[in-house]
Amino acid sequence: MPENPETPEPVLTLRKGPVLTVILNRPRRKNAMTDDAWALLGETLRAARSDEAVKAVVITGAGGDFCAGADLRGARSRQHPLDRMNRLGDTAQALYDMPKPVIAKVEGVAVGAGWNLALGCDLVVASTTARFAQIFARRGLSPDFGGSWLLPRIVGLQQAKRLALLAEFVDADEAARLGLVTWVKPAEEIDTFVEDLAARLAGGPPVAMAQAKLLLHQAAGQIFHEALDNESRAQVINFATDAPAARWAFVEGTEPCFEGRWLLSHQTEDRT
């Protein structure tokens, strides 16, 4: 996906129906991001969250690479370093809190915060060209953008230490074996695959999927009965949202149409 020379913004968006594609747009730097670029990404994600027309999000990079992390040669703000890192954390939190499904489409390099950006997405589709590294140790740094939390939960503590301490590159196939990539696709197939995947997610029940994400996120810090209680509360909401349409479609042998509407409020309005 080439850079638009007339649009030098570091983050671009492209809407196709209910799917929003967010493009990291600094291909001359392998989409390494400045402080301001990270902040703009956060703003873009928060805007997508509040846009009811957006049902699914794809994050990708321009020019054949996903993201080379932070641009160490780029302009730095004059903020205190802790404030700068907190701004970066705000963007990572915006991604983590996104109730809509998010797909990372990864081609080329995804290193440092760029790899952790991909790991913060719900699903990762990697091209066979993709190469990943927790590059931080090579730069005298430790993981950020949520990597210290995400990695051990995906691969276990020992493999997380290997990736963080050695900062070695892994290819797409090894990343998939470790559970860090959901699918690996040839470069000529990845666009079609992601487009179809995003359309399927966008057509799903938005409230139920948002709750599924939240339940899975919360479960990492809960005991079993707390997870069961949360599941019960979520299902009660689903019973008054898209579940009735899904049940009726099942009985009728048709495909459900999910709208994410709170049915009880409409019933109340109909009675008044």
Q: What are the residue ranges spanned by the domains of the chain?
A: 11-202, 206-271
Q: What per-residue confidence (pLDDT) applies to 8?
A: 83
Which top CATH class is 206-271?
mainly alpha
What mean pLDDT is predicted for residues 55-76?
Answer: 91
Q: Is the pLDDT of residue 107 over 90?
A: yes
**Cβ contact 54:22 at 8 Å:** no
Q: Does the pLDDT at position 238 exceed 80?
A: yes
Flag whether the pTM goes above 0.85.
yes
In three-state secondary structure terms, 15 is strand
Average pLDDT value for residue range 190-198:
98
Q: What is the pLDDT of residue 77?
A: 67
The CATH class of 11-202 is alpha beta
**Considering the chain, what percentage of its residues have pLDDT values greater than 90?**
73
pLDDT score at 111: 98
Residues 6+ apart with CB under 8 A from 219: 227, 230
- Six token digits for residue 229: 């209680």
Of the candidates 76, 41, 75, 43, the residue with the CA atom closest to the CA atom of residue 60: 41
| pLDDT, mean of residues 127-153 | 95
What integer pLDDT is reported at residue 74 of this predicted model?
66
**Separation between Cα atoms, residue 68 and residue 31, nearest integer Å:** 6
